Chains A and B, each alone.
Chain A
């Protein structure tokens, strides 16, 4: 035979393919990379982690005596897994097997698998992005909805099985692409029904209606009063912190009262919650403090002449300090805007200074119900219990996850902790993400693991023909399996 020597023989299954460099075997799952047999999908991730300067935990210096504690995060230990990280599917093109348009099945030259998932998107902004429950669209297709407003941020829930597979065909495809891009750290353009248009990207400031956010608010209007009351006291008679959620008024606020602030007779619009705290002073919008107000005096109904006095001073400031105005009441108790005194400038700047950078953060959320567990153990529920009891650590591409209490293994992971392009997709449509289970060997045996597949680390290293998953030595990835050469 005149075959060159660089093909390798894969022993992942009895087909025992000979694989040429740069190509995959019949399964499309194992490939020959520079003479070594590699798993096409998950192996790539760890190299990427390293190339991005990510941390990986050294494994196996003392593996026999490992007590099962978490050795560091992100941790990625798979040599005692089932010989696989799962799902082990090539991103694409791999399959089409969706039920679409009343079609029972789809025939195409190749076939593979699916997943259940979505992302929770936290957008640090006070601007009004849309009403709660409003539909969020990408490319005109519904891909999620606005959910709760949180501290200084607005949450969006995108994806999930209902958009991925229960909607129209295009809806599923666009949803899948949106999730994939967000998870892989790419910018995505979204539009909220009756709300804002957004450009979001994990780890970057959001762009709302074309304007890039810079800062998170320091707190709600009331909290801001609480934080800065002491710095304002004695330098200004009244301070109004404009906020779409809770606008704060110094003279009425408990913090002002404690400092002995004098009643200013200010009358606010909106609904008073407790003294010095006002809801609904305006409509939500892209103006001051997440309201639709561009002239802050619009939220002041007037001043009670019995309490207010000519020459009284008032600072109005937004919760990020980005907007501020200083007023002095004239003889008719009408506020006239004046230059901000130097003595107050510092407090305004301090509000800005205390605001954290506004970011978009993306948590990938997925349920590893039946499918995944079967690859790990023959008795899947034991894996779930094992995760519950913290005997098994779950990681995604080496990143730590939060596992939801309750049934199944439903987890959330910060996508920024994964290597870039760690996520793939199949046209089902569904997202493909790596996941690893780490546990002690005896626990693995106890939960019905594929114990026959487990190899001692030394064996793996000693026997180049052996197949296993990634092995770390002194923090360096040894990309086992090194397949025997032919």
Chain B
């Protein structure tokens, strides 16, 4: 480990890794020795990740021009590439998911696991062997944590990544979604797609929406002077539906391109689902269920 990185066993058996702005919660399931081996491998891999990323940070903060060097950076670049045709996007849009993927890959490479996850601030990489499933709870607002829905991912699904984006989170959003949760083949792809779908949930020049150039808040933001959302006032149900509709259109387009499996879009008390019932197979495999009401 480098001097900063922390590796902590949580009382319920999960691990918490922390280094700089990265917080990972991870857990492996399987034979005890295999699990221990997986944690060791994860810790070893984790120790170098932040320094590796930072070495290429200026490159990663711009739309991709030349291929980066680091393994995590490559995952980021690969994940954002399909979206770059149509959107302004830098590899940083996939950084959280890519880190989760990289650590998970180290675990799976070192041990035989039934299932495992690496959760990087809501961007989650999953490993599932036959017949295993993961239940994912979705939260709309970090300041009022309650589940607005759940997703079940089984070993038969293509999705191995889950990510959530929204303006209330730690990363900037150009849109007004409280949360957009995406299931995608990889965590880095889910991360990038969630960012773009959340950006698309928007109402344009609406008086209730406060925006500010990203660089006024973070001088190094890859978003430059693009206006990021800083506050959303009261919206009518019709406005909420309109905004969610824009996002759902984007999500549906990504789904048809095979970039995502499903998405749940949350704004106010409304949730819109995309890809939850695309086909009989998908319905069985990827089910995103909405709760009749969200508590709290």
Chain A interface (Cβ < 8 Å from any Cβ of B): 3, 7, 12-18, 20, 23, 25-28, 92-97, 99-114, 116, 161, 165, 369-371, 374-375, 378, 427, 450, 452-453
Contacts and interface: CB of A to CB of B under 8 A. Distances in A.
A100 B135 CA distance: 10
Nearest to B133: A104
A108 B217 contact: no
A16 B25 CA distance: 23
Contact of B119 (A14, A107, A113, A116): A107
B169 interface: yes
B142 interface: yes
A111 B122 contact: yes
B54 A15 contact: yes
B21 A114 contact: no
A126 B87 CA distance: 71
Nearest to A113: B16
A96 B147 CA distance: 10
Interface stretch (B1-9, B69-77, B199-207): B1-9
A99 B171 CA distance: 24
Interface string B31-75: 000000000000000000011001001000000000000000000
A27 B122 contact: no
A96 B3 CA distance: 27
Contact of A104 (B1, B135, B138, B163): B135
A106 B137 contact: yes
B188 interface: no
Contacts of A28: 21, 170
A109 B121 contact: yes
Contacts of B166: 109
Given A7-B219, A14-B51, A27 B21 contact: yes
Contacts of A161: 11
Contact of A105 (B18, B119, B219): B119
Contact of A92 (B1, B135, B143): B143
What DSSP secondary structure best describes chain A's contact surface? loop
Contact of A96 (B14, B20, B139): B139
B54 A97 contact: no
A374 B7 contact: yes
17 contacts: A14-B50, A15-B54, A17-B220, A20-B216, A28-B170, A104-B136, A106-B136, A107-B136, A107-B162, A107-B163, A108-B169, A108-B179, A109-B169, A110-B142, A113-B16, A369-B11, A370-B9
B197 interface: no
A371 B179 CA distance: 30
B10 A371 contact: yes
Nearest to A12: B20
Contact of A14 (B20, B171, B218): B20
The 10 closest A-B pairs by CB, nearest first: A109-B169, A13-B20, A14-B54, A26-B21, A27-B21, A103-B137, A111-B121, A93-B143, A108-B139, A18-B219
B134 interface: yes
A113 B23 contact: yes
A110 B170 contact: yes
B181 interface: yes
A105 B117 contact: yes
Interface string B106-148: 0000000000010111111000000000111111011101010
Given A14-B54, A108-B122, A111-B120, A102 B135 contact: yes
Interface in B144-183: 145, 147, 150, 162-166, 168-171, 179, 181
Nearest to B144: A93
Contact of A114 (B4, B10, B142): B10
Contacts of A94: 142
B11, B19, B120, B217, most chain A CB atoms within 10 A: B11
A97 B138 CA distance: 11
B24 to A, nearest CB: 8
